[in-house]
Amino acid sequence: MQMLPTTPSEWETMLAVMSDEDRREVMAILEADLQHVIWRPQVGRQSQACDCSAFVTGYGGSAGGGKSDLVAGLALTEHKRSVVFRREKTQTEGIIQRLGEILGTTDGYNSQKSIWKTGGRMIEFGGLDNPTDHQKWQGRAHDLKAYDEVTEMREYQVRFTMGWTRTNDAQQRARVLMTFNPPTTAEGRWVLQYFAPWLDDKHPNPAKPGELRWFTTLKGADFETVDDRKFVLFKGEPVYDFDPSEFSPEKIITPRSRTFIPSRVTDNYFYVRSGYIETLQSLPEPLRSQMLEGDFNAGVEDDPWQVIPTAWIDAAMARWKPRDDKGVMDSIGADIAAGGQDEMVLYRRHGTWFDTPLKTPGSEIPQDRAGPIAAGKIIMARKDRAVIHADVIGWGLSAVNFLTENQVQTVAVNFANASTDRTEDGKLSFFNKRAEVIWRMRESLDPQNPHPVALPNDPKLRADLASYIWELRSSGIFIRSKEEQKKKLGRSPDDGDACCLANMATLKQEIYDTMLQRTPTDRYAELDI
């Protein structure tokens, strides 16, 4: 039995050799089919994404690969209650237009409420432009959550709204669809990390297109599991052999499946015939490689005023290897939080090698006992009389006072204080202590530094260090406020600040005391006069 074509080019080839009568017969069959089903995915990658069983499907690559069409088609044919997100709500107009084309009418669309109801299905449209927009969708259940051009969105907003992907209908599938082109800015890089097994060419265990992998979130970070088996945690390690009756439901962890399916403009029959490919071919590099070929490794531009180039951060993380012998601990950087959504983060530095961070959700640190609890965690992490560098703005001061009272060498760092220091080359001064501390990390990561720094490959750390933006003022180097960073990241840059604090170099008290003992009090004492 002859198989149907699976690509636009195969359809073109088949139709070209058909007689006029056969061609008319095929078209009549297709038109009759559309009388019963208003939309079908194009054969190939779009069909693969449509039929994929993953809970989260990433779909994209080049421009014109049928991403928006897939969103519209799934909402109209496979799901009962859908929401379509773009960074800005007005950007959903393209999908709304496509829905009208498929249905042949706009009946059922309420532009005031941004809701389309048709055939017992409901499709909502929303934007995630403002840092708090995700809160409007808290508790709003949908069996399809579609994020169109997800690389334009903040990671925390996507993850938050995904939490209510569910249905009460046992016959209805629930899933998440993320469509995207390769990111053109640093802010979209989180998507590459989210789909790292498919998109990171240096991933230790790469996945094939459409291959299912299973993930869960532990302590705010993605954790890939072997398969879809449920497990519980014992001393931080997954245990699969357990009795479910002995654990409350919230203690039993169920991994969710994830995959990525690449799309190309050549997969789209309509664009193959329209000349759109020629348009993409005329784009300048690296945009041509990104949009035409779906190349996720093509250059992503840093902000011209980014303090630390992303390439420097990547190089430092590439140098990092786990160590059995970590060497002497020199410094701990502490960004302290209590209550709320921020984390308390500790980075430990051994020479130029930084250990993996220790993180505690702020919700686990009661505000009325923040000082001693935070100080206790720091003391537990401390070795070799390492110097503690702690941010005293916020909850840090209480912890610093407790450490100091207990004879732990601690440097209280107030980022708002003035700085009297200058850049390593002596050319520029600093607006405040915050600018000095962060710029020192830039100097440590500079490829010209003879003592290269090694940083753990932590996605939050990477994002934080890349988010510092500077400008030159008459008073020296000024780094934009933490509030601007929060708006950009959607969270506090706790990892970046803690790492920069750990990078500070303060002489240990015992070494300083030894030096004093070796220094003659009388400069003429050794002279025979």
Q: How confident is the model over 512-517, as a mean pLDDT?
A: 68
Residue 270 CA to residue 262 CA, distance in Å, equals: 18
Q: Encode pLDDT of 100-128 as tens digits.
A: 999 999 999 999 999 999 989 999 999 99
At 1, the pLDDT band (50, 70, 90 cuts) reads: very low
The type of residue at 509 is Q
Residue 313 near residue 186, CB atoms below 8 Å: no
Indicate the pTM of the whole model.
0.64
Least-confidence region, from 36-40, 58-62, 311-315, 513-517? 513-517
Half-sphere exposure of residue 222: CA atoms within 13 angstroms, side-chain side: 22
Would you say residue 26 has pLDDT above 80? Answer: no
Q: Supply the DSSP string of 310-340, one letter for each residue.
A: HHHHHHHHHH----SS-----EEEEE---SS
Q: Encode pLDDT of 187-196 as tens digits.
A: 788 898 899 8
pLDDT the model gives residue 276: 47
Q: Which long-range contacts (CB under 8 A, 24 or more apart) does 461-464 make?
A: 461/357, 461/495, 461/496, 461/499, 462/189, 462/193, 462/310, 462/313, 462/314, 462/317, 463/189, 463/190, 463/489, 464/489, 464/493, 464/494, 464/495, 464/496, 464/497, 464/499
Q: Which of 64-73, 179-188, 445-454, 458-467 has the highest mean pLDDT?
A: 445-454
How many CB atoms are located within 10 Å of the residue 11 CB?
17
Higher pLDDT, 120 or 201: 120
Residue 324 CA to residue 287 CA, distance in Å, equals: 43
- Average pLDDT of every residue of the chain: 86
Q: How confident is the model over 34-38, as a mean pLDDT?
A: 71
Residue 245: CB partners within 8 Å, gap ≥ 6? Answer: none
pLDDT the model gives residue 5: 65
Q: How confident is the model over 338-351, as a mean pLDDT?
A: 91
pLDDT the model gives residue 375: 94
Higher pLDDT, 179 or 31: 179
Q: How confident is the model over 493-497, as a mean pLDDT?
A: 94
Q: How confident is the model over 212-237, as a mean pLDDT?
A: 87
At 448, the pLDDT band (50, 70, 90 cuts) reads: very high
At 368, the pLDDT band (50, 70, 90 cuts) reads: confident
How many CB atoms are located within 10 Å of the residue 378 CB?
24
pLDDT the model gives residue 65: 61
Which class in CATH covers the domain with range 310-511?
alpha beta
Would you say residue 270 has pLDDT above 60? Answer: no
pLDDT the model gives residue 64: 54
Q: How confident is the model over 35-55, as a mean pLDDT?
A: 86
Q: How confident is the model over 145-153, as a mean pLDDT?
A: 95
Partners of residue 178 on adjacent β-strands: 58, 147
pLDDT the model gives residue 280: 46
Would you say residue 218 has pLDDT above 70? Answer: yes
Q: Supply the DSSP string of 209-240, one letter for each residue.
A: TT--EEEEEETTEEEEESSS--BEEETTEEE-
Q: How confident is the model over 225-254, as a mean pLDDT?
A: 89
Higher pLDDT, 33 or 145: 145
pLDDT the model gives residue 461: 93
Domain extents in the chain = 1-36, 41-225+256-293, 310-511
For 474, counting Cβ atoms within 10 Å of its Cβ (0-12 exposed, 13-18 middle, 19+ buried), the class is exposed
Rounded percentage of the chain residues whose pLDDT exceeds 70: 85
Place of tokens 């997954």: 238
Would you say residue 277 has pLDDT above 60? Answer: no
Q: How confident is the model over 365-369, as a mean pLDDT?
A: 88
pLDDT the model gives residue 38: 85
Q: Assign a CATH topology to domain 41-225+256-293.
A: Rossmann fold (3.40.50)
Higher pLDDT, 54 or 300: 54
Least-confidence region, from 2-11, 81-90, 109-118, 172-181? 2-11
Q: Which DSSP letter does residue 306 get?
A: B
Nearest to 147 by CA among 85, 57, 79, 64: 85
SS (HEC) of 50-78: HHCCCCEEEEEECCCCCHHHHHHHHHHHC
Least-confidence region, from 162-171, 278-287, 396-405, 453-462? 278-287
pLDDT the model gives residue 520: 59
pLDDT the model gives residue 463: 86
Would you say residue 274 has pLDDT above 60? Answer: no
The encoded tokens of residue 360 equal 């505690």
Residue 23: CB partners within 8 Å, gap ≥ 6? Answer: 15
Residue 299 CA to residue 185 CA, distance in Å, equals: 9
Is 160 strand, coil or helix? helix
Q: How confident is the model over 439-466, as a mean pLDDT?
A: 93
By DSSP bridging, strand 331-335 and strand 387-391 are: parallel
pLDDT the model gives residue 192: 87
pLDDT the model gives residue 211: 95
How many CB atoms are located within 10 Å of the residue 203 CB?
12
Nearest to 389 by CA among 456, 350, 331: 331
pLDDT the model gives residue 79: 97
By DSSP bridging, strand 410-413 and strand 387-391 are: parallel
